[in-house]
């Protein structure tokens, strides 16, 4: 389903039910990590987009009696529907490595892998703090052959050249925590603004 906004249009990406299945998939993989490695789980939520996703994953881990800790890091890598060349990170409550007394798997939770700059920047930051076992989980991977996330809910498999050939510059995803100019984070489904060349 799509609706038109000027020359751009809005398309449906994932329904509420489809998102729930993705969250289940991600949560099950995290549960498997803690069982296989016998590790404590540290979820590193990338704000603001992954807040809702992290909360839902946390609920599912709690329901399975999996002990975990959540910390938050704020990232700025977009402005006015454009990706920035550099990202800015603002630590909220990322603990020092000696906070974790048990063997710990640190899982960066992000809503969307687009260029990958955000999660790779967060990973680099955590490595500098001495974190060792770091994985990346994302609700959506945007582009084909982008294998940054170890744990993935849904892969859109967009190909930039194919989009360009069809007169599309990009898709800007929003809903379920993701914003479109700081709006629509509260939507239960995920939609995209199809941006034409």
Rounded-to-10 torsion of CA 156, 120, 99, 109: -10
Instruction: Please determine, for residue 92, whether its predicted confidence score (pLDDT) is greater than 80.
Output: no
Question: Is residue 43 assigned to a domain?
Answer: yes
The pairing of strands 40-47 and 8-14 is unpaired
Across the chain, the runs of DSSP E, i.e. the strands, are: 2-5, 8-14, 40-47, 68-79, 82-91, 104-113, 134-143, 151-158, 168-174, 190-196
Question: Is residue 1 assigned to a domain?
Answer: no
Q: pLDDT-derived band of residue 123, with 50, 70 and 90 as boundaries?
A: very high
Instruction: Please determine, for residue 81, whether its predicted confidence score (pLDDT) is greater than 50.
Output: no
**Token representation of residue 192:** 């995209």
Question: Is residue 180 assigned to a domain?
Answer: no
Question: Is residue 177 assigned to a domain?
Answer: no
In the block, residue with structure tokens 């993989």:
29
Question: Is residue 7 assigned to a domain?
Answer: no
Q: How far apart are the first and last CA of the chain?
A: 21
Q: pLDDT-derived band of residue 144, with 50, 70 and 90 as boundaries?
A: very high
Alpha carbon distance 99, 126 (integer Å):
13
Angle at 165 between CA 193 and CA 119, to 5 degrees: 50
Instruction: Please determine, for residue 83, whether its predicted confidence score (pLDDT) is greater than 50.
Output: no
Closest CA to 133 of 110, 155, 104: 104
Q: What is the pTM of this model?
A: 0.88
Range of the domain at 26: 17-156
Residue 13 confidence (pLDDT): 97
Domain count, the chain: 1
**Mean pLDDT value across the chain:** 89
CATH code for position 39: 3.40.50.2020
pLDDT tens, position by position, 31-79: 999 888 888 999 999 998 999 999 999 999 999 999 999 999 987 765 5
Question: Is residue 106 assigned to a domain?
Answer: yes
> 10 or 90: which carries more pLDDT confidence?
10
Question: Is residue 61 assigned to a domain?
Answer: yes
Question: Is residue 128 assigned to a domain?
Answer: yes
Mean pLDDT of 170-182: 93
């Amino acid at each position: 389903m799509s609706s038109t906004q000027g020359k751009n249009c809005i398309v449906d990406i994932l329904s509420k039910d489809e998102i729930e299945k993705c969250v289940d998939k991600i949560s099950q993989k995290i549960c498997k990590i803690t069982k296989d490695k016998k590790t404590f789980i540290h979820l590193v939520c990338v704000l603001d987009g992954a807040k809702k996703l992290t909360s839902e994953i946390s609920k599912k881990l709690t329901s399975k009696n999996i002990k975990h800790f959540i910390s938050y890091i704020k990232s700025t890598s977009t402005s006015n529907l454009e990706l920035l060349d550099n990202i800015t990170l603002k630590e909220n409550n990322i603990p020092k490595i000696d906070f974790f007394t048990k063997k710990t798997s640190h899982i960066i939770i992000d809503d969307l892998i687009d260029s990958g700059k955000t999660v790779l920047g967060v990973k680099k930051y955590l490595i500098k703090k001495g974190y060792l076992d770091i994985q990346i989980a994302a609700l959506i991977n945007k582009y084909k052959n982008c294998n940054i996330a170890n744990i993935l809910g849904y892969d859109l498999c967009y190909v930039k050249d194919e989009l360009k050939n069809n007169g599309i510059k990009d898709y800007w995803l929003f809903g379920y925590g993701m914003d479109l100019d700081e709006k629509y984070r509260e939507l239960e489904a995920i939609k995209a603004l199809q941006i034409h060349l």
